[in-house]
Chains A and B, each alone.
Chain A
Amino acid sequence: MGYEAWILLTGSLVGISCGMIGCYLIVRRMVMLADAISHSVLLGIVLAFLVSQSLNSIYMLIGAAVIGLATTIFIQWLYASGVPEDASIGIVFTTLFAIGVILISLFAKDVHLDVNHALMGEIAFVPWNTIVIFGAEIPKATATLLGITVVTLLFIIGLYKELKITSFDAALALTIGLPVTFIHYLLMTMVSLTAVGSFDAVGAILVVAMFVVPGSCAYLLTDRLDAMLAISALVGVLSAVSGYYAALWWDVSISGSMAMMGGVIFLLTWIFSPRYGLISKWKKSSTPLKEQEG
């Protein structure tokens, strides 16, 4: 596979895994929690580096999962103690992110870890850093993301109805004996893993964009959860591919451009969606008036 194909594949994998997880975040109204986790995993990565003194992605994944869960727990804990939810989120992630940035500047400056990289990623460098798996030489980040996408798919297919019912009606889920809290934390662990796996390749910002943009488009296009998941994955891939070519065209940041193209797709969906778009809304609200006149 060529250089370009690896980048397209990597971006698409981010789009698929974040896009599908993002659907659940949207219907559970937990998008800001994912935004928070995507920022605070930076601290997890730094701590993993400081403890292990290596940039091995296994340590990073563990560190990120731990800090991701810690973020969720801290937010939940502040919320339970009476802090409004949005303020709890704002306090926890900015603090953890700030600590992460300070630790990087103090202890990890000379290494491959730098803050701009964490923020914007360097998907352009992904194809150069390869490992050999089953005799094939493939980029490290792509391999990690491939693994994460497979886990995400297994998670969503395996627990499809459990995720659906706990998202839709937690009370019913409790009365039939499902561990609602456990499933919540499982989902948050998936968010952290997906975030950190994508982090290295595309940076925090695109991770957040991929969590929210494709799912939002899908939410405005369909009334079925399974269709929403599929459309979301598709929009994720579409943003990645169109973003890459837009970046080539203008010679700008690839991950920034992928987020931007996601925004363009959302704008189009918002206006033209046959079900919930602005145009159909405007048509619907103008028809009853005509009927009344007639």
Chain B
Amino acid sequence: MNQAVEVKDVTVAYDQKPVLENISFTVPKGILMAVVGPNGAGKSTLIKAMLDLTQKSAGDVKILGEAYKPKNRTVGYVPQRGTVDWDFPTNALDVTLMGRYGHIGWFRRPSKSDVALAEEALEKVGMSAYKHRQIRQLSGGQQQRVFLARALVQDADVYFMDEPFVGVDAATERAIIALLRDLKESGKTVVVVHHDLQTVPEYFDWTLLLNKQQIACGPTDEVFTMEQLQQTYGGHLSFLNQTEMVGR
């Protein structure tokens, strides 16, 4: 069994309007995969549907050969940064520690070793100095690093990250990519929703091109061709490409 993720015929519809149709692909273990496509292509929806955070109209998702169940704790999810309340009374260390909650179980408190793991993860993303900061007081890049640290302590086998590079500074981007490579080294699989076409070939060894339907999926050097990209983005690729570069 060397497939980390198997997606079969996944369809998602809101109000009878299909958002994603018949998506089927597999991701081998130990791969960094990018999910690429224009705005509104359903990239985040795909991730959410795979993790049962959005209802699927049809289709199956297997993680490490088994039907996905949250209880298996095989999956780590890093949502888009905009989705939480930054005024919540909590600090960086506390947020990171939340990644351990799945392992700790009901009613019990985090142990010293959980705290140690969280501190270690913060160290890895270069956030140790800020561990007692309230999360609103962190910059966008720092917030993203805390979320990554939280994913690290989850100690999952397959990670799903939704646009981790959006709105971060260059230093954070380098830190994130180093971290992704570390994860890959230790045999983890990472699926990343990605916006910046320029960096796809450099960062990722597997790519899914998506625009409501699946355009292509496979090793980046095979999939990431001009022709395929044009099919994904329509005729506006050159224009989009530039705005993406400027906008991000």
Nearest Cβ on chain B to A212's Cβ, whole angstroms: 16
The stretch of B16-24, B80-88, B198-206 that contacts the partner chain: B80-88
1/0 per position for A193-221, CB-CB distance to B under 8 A? Answer: 00000000000000000000000000100
The stretch of B65-73, B115-123, B181-189, B214-222 that contacts the partner chain: B65-73
Q: Interface size for chain B: under 10, 10 to 19, 20 to 34, or 35 or more residues?
A: 20 to 34
CB distance B91 to A169 under 8 Å?
no
Nearest Cβ on chain A to B9's Cβ, whole angstroms: 22
CB distance B104 to A219 under 8 Å?
no
Partner of A172, one of B77, B87, B89, B106: B77
Which residues does chain A contribute within 8 Å of B75, judged by CB atoms? Answer: 175
Which residues does chain B contribute within 8 Å of A223, judged by CB atoms? Answer: 89-91, 134
Cβ-based interface call for A176 (8 A): yes
Chain A residue with Cβ nearest B102: A176
Which residues does chain A contribute within 8 Å of B40, judged by CB atoms? Answer: none
Given contacts A177-B71, A177-B73, A177-B102, A219 and B51 within 8 Å (CB-CB) = no
A-B pairs with beta carbons under 8 A, tally: 79
Residues of A162-177 at the interface with B, using a CB-CB cut-off of 8 Å, are 162, 164-165, 167-169, 171-177
CB distance A27 to B77 under 8 Å?
no
CB distance B77 to A161 under 8 Å?
no
Cβ-based interface call for A2 (8 A): no
Partner of A161, one of B52, B84, B101: B101
Docked Cα-Cα span, A223 to B79, in Å, equals 23
Cβ-based interface call for A108 (8 A): no
Docked Cα-Cα span, A224 to B92, in Å, equals 11
Chain A residue with Cβ nearest B151: A172
Cβ-based interface call for B234 (8 A): no
Chain A residue with Cβ nearest B78: A172
Apart from A169-B84, A227-B89, 7 more pairs, CB < 8 Å: A167-B88, A169-B98, A172-B77, A175-B76, A219-B89, A223-B90, A223-B91
Q: Write 28 A-B pairs (CB below 8 A) sorted by A numbering.
A: A27-B85, A27-B88, A29-B85, A158-B107, A159-B106, A159-B107, A161-B101, A161-B110, A164-B98, A167-B88, A168-B98, A169-B83, A169-B98, A171-B77, A175-B53, A175-B75, A175-B76, A176-B73, A176-B101, A176-B154, A177-B71, A178-B101, A222-B89, A223-B90, A223-B91, A225-B88, A227-B89, A228-B89
Interface residues of A (CB under 8 A from B): 27, 29, 158-162, 164-165, 167-169, 171-178, 219, 222-225, 227-228
